[in-house]
C-alpha cells in the first residue's frame, strides 16, 4: 500500500543535497546514548547547514528536547529549541548556517503522521516552510550491504487537501537523493571513529565471566569421565589455542597498543628527518657566517630557502624544549629559582604584544569617537549659523507696508523702528 504522506508530484527544480559525515556521527551517537540510558523520550534532533539556490548542505546536527503530550504525541519544547538554534547560529556565523532539516527514527516505508506533526511544529517555531526530514532506519543497521547508509531524506511540501476546504493545505514529503561531502577535518574525525569503533567490542562483566567459567568447569568435570582417553589430542589443542579467551586482549589494551605504536612510528620518522637535515648541513662547505677562518663564498647552488627554514626551526627549539630552572645561591646558602632568560623574554614579548593590541584598539576607538563628535559639532554649528542668518535676513527686509498712507509699515526694522516699503507722501 502506498504511503499517503508521500507526494507523487514532480518538483519544479530538483534539490542538490550534500550530507556531511558529522551529521551521521551525531545522529548515531545520540541514538546510542539514548538507548543505553533507556530514556523514554523520543529521538528528535535538528540539522543545520546553508542553502545557496537549489544546493543545500547538511553540516551539523544536535538533539532537541521533547515532551510527551497527554495523547502520547511528541511535543517539542519551544523555548529550548529556539535558544539552542540561536546558539548554533551565533557559533556558526562564517559561513552563516541555518536550520535545514530535522532527524527522527522511522521505518523504510516512509514518514508517518507523527513525523509530519513534528515537522509542522518545527516550521512554526523557526518560521521556515522548507524544512527537510531525515529518517534513520534502525532496522537496517544489521543488514547494511554495499555501503548504503540507513537513512532517507525527504523534502516537505504543502499540497491542497483532497475534499477539504479551499486554501487548506497538508504536509507531504518527497524523497530526495543526496551525496556525502567530506572535508579534511571530517576525514580525520571519521578515521578516528572508525579506528576506535573497531576496538569498541562488548566486554562481558566480571560476574558474567565468572559464571561462564564456573559453568565451563562444571560441564568439563561432568563429561571428563565420558571422554577420558578419547579426546586427549583435542584437549591439548584447545589448551594451546592462541585464540582462546585468555589470550584475547581487551579493547582498552588494543587501543593503548595502537596509540603507543603510532607514537613510536612518529618518533622514528622524526629521527629520520633530523638525521636527514644533519647530513645535508654536514655536506655543505664551511661558511664565513659560522667560521671566522673561512674566506670561501657560498656556492651558487646554495638553497637559501631551505637554510632559512632550518634556521627558523632551530630558533623555535628553545621555546619547545622544557625549560630547566636556574638556581642562584644566595650568601646565606638558600637557593632561589629563576625563569630562564629565553622563556622570560618570550613571555615578556607576548605580554607586550597583548598590551600593544589593546592600546591600538583603544586608540582606534578614541579616534572613531572623536570623529563622531566632530561630525556632530559641525552639524550643530551649521544649523545654528543657518538659523541666525534667517533671523537677520527676515528683520532687515521689514514689511511691505499698506501703501495707503499709514504711519507704520507691516514689519519692523532690526532695531524696532517701523519699516515698510510703502510711502505715504514726500519725505
pLDDT digits (tens, 9 = 90+) for 161-171: 766 565 677 88
In this structure, is residue 377 part of a structural domain? Answer: yes
pLDDT digits (tens, 9 = 90+) for 103-115: 999 888 889 888 9
Q: Is the residue at 69 inside a domain? A: yes
Q: Give the least confident one: 7-21, 153-167, 335-349.
A: 335-349
User: Residue 332 falls within a domain, yes or no?
Assistant: no
% of the chain exceeding 70 in pLDDT: 67
Q: Is 424 among the domain residues?
A: no
Q: Say if residue 367's pLDDT is above 90.
A: yes
Its domain, for residue 354, covers: 313-320+337-382
Domain-terminating residue out of 140, 161, 193: 193
Angstrom distance (rounded) from CA 371 to CA 378 = 11
Q: Please report, for the domain that includes residue 87, its CATH number.
A: 3.40.140.10
pLDDT of 55 > 80? The answer is yes
Domain end among 193, 226, 252? 193
The answer as to whether 176 is a domain residue is yes
State the total domains in the chain: 2
| 94 domain-assigned | yes
* Residue 98 and residue 52 in contact, taking contact as beta carbons nearer than 8 Å: no
Q: Is residue 209 part of a domain?
A: no
In a domain, 20, yes or no: yes
Q: Considering 159, 193, 227, which residue would you say is the last residue of a domain? A: 193
User: Would the pLDDT of 415 be above 80?
Assistant: no
Amino acid at each position: 500500500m502506498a504511503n499517503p504522506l508521500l507526494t507523487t508530484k514532480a518538483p519544479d527544480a530538483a534539490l542538490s543535497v550534500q550530507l556531511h559525515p558529522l551529521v551521521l556521527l551525531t545522529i548515531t551517537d545520540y541514538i546510542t546514548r539514548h538507548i543505553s540510558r533507556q530514556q523514554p523520550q523520543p529521538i528528535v534532533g535538528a540539522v543545520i547547514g546553508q542553502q545557496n539556490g537549489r544546493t543545500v548542505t547538511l553540516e551539523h546536527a544536535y538533539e532537541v528536547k521533547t515532551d510527551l503530550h497527554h495523547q502520547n504525541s511528541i511535543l517539542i519544547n519551544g523555548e529550548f529549541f529556539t535558544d539552542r538554534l540561536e546558539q548554533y547560529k551565533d557559533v556558526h556565523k562564517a559561513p552563516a548556517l541555518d536550520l535545514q532539516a530535522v532527524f527522527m527514527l522511522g521505518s523504510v516505508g516512509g514518514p508517518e503522521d507523527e513525523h509530519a506533526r513534528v515537522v509542522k511544529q518545527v516550521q512554526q517555531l523557526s518560521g521556515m516552510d522548507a524544512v527537510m526530514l531525515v529518517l534513520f532506519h534502525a532496522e537496517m543497521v544489521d543488514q547494511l550491504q554495499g555501503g548504503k547508509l540507513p537513512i532517507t531524506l525527504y523534502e516537505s511540501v504543502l499540497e491542497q487537501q483532497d475534499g477539504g476546504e479551499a486554501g487548506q493545505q497538508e504536509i507531504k514529503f518527497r524523497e530526495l537523493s543526496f551525496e556525502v561531502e567530506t572535508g579534511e577535518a571530517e576525514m580525520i574525525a571519521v578515521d578516528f571513529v572508525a579506528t576506535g569503533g573497531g576496538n569498541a567490542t562488548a566486554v562481558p562483566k566480571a560476574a558474567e565471566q565468572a559464571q561462564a567459567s564456573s559453568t565451563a568447569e562444571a560441564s568439563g568435570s561432568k563429561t571428563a569421565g565420558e571422554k577420558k582417553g578419547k579426546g586427549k589430542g583435542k584437549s591439548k589443542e584447545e589448551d594451546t589455542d592462541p585464540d582462546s579467551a585468555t589470550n584475547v586482549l581487551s579493547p582498552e589494551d588494543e587501543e593503548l597498543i595502537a596509540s603507543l605504536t603510532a607514537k613510536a612510528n612518529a618518533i622514528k620518522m622524526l629521527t629520520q628527518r633530523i638525521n636527514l637535515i644533519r647530513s645535508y648541513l654536514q655536506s655543505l662547505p664551511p661558511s664565513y657566517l659560522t667560521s671566522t677562518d673561512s674566506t670561501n663564498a657560498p656556492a651558487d647552488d646554495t638553497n637559501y630557502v631551505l637554510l632559512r627554514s632550518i634556521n627558523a626551526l632551530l630558533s623555535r627549539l628553545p621555546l619547545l624544549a622544557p625549560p630547566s630552572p636556574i638556581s642562584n645561591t644566595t650568601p646565606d646558602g638558600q637557593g632561589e629559582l629563576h625563569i630562564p632568560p629565553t622563556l622570560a623574554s618570550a613571555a615578556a614579548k607576548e605580554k607586550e604584544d597583548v598590551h600593544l593590541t589593546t592600546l591600538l584598539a583603544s586608540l582606534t576607538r578614541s579616534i572613531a569617537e572623536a570623529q563622531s563628535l566632530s561630525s556632530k559639532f559641525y552639524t550643530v554649528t551649521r544649523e545654528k549659523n543657518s538659523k541666525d542668518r534667517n533671523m537677520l535676513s527676515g528683520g532687515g527686509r521689514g514689511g511691505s507696508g499698506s501703501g495707503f498712507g499709514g504711519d507704520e509699515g507691516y514689519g519692523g526694522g532690526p532695531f524696532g523702528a517701523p519699516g515698510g516699503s510703502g510711502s505715504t507722501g514726500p519725505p
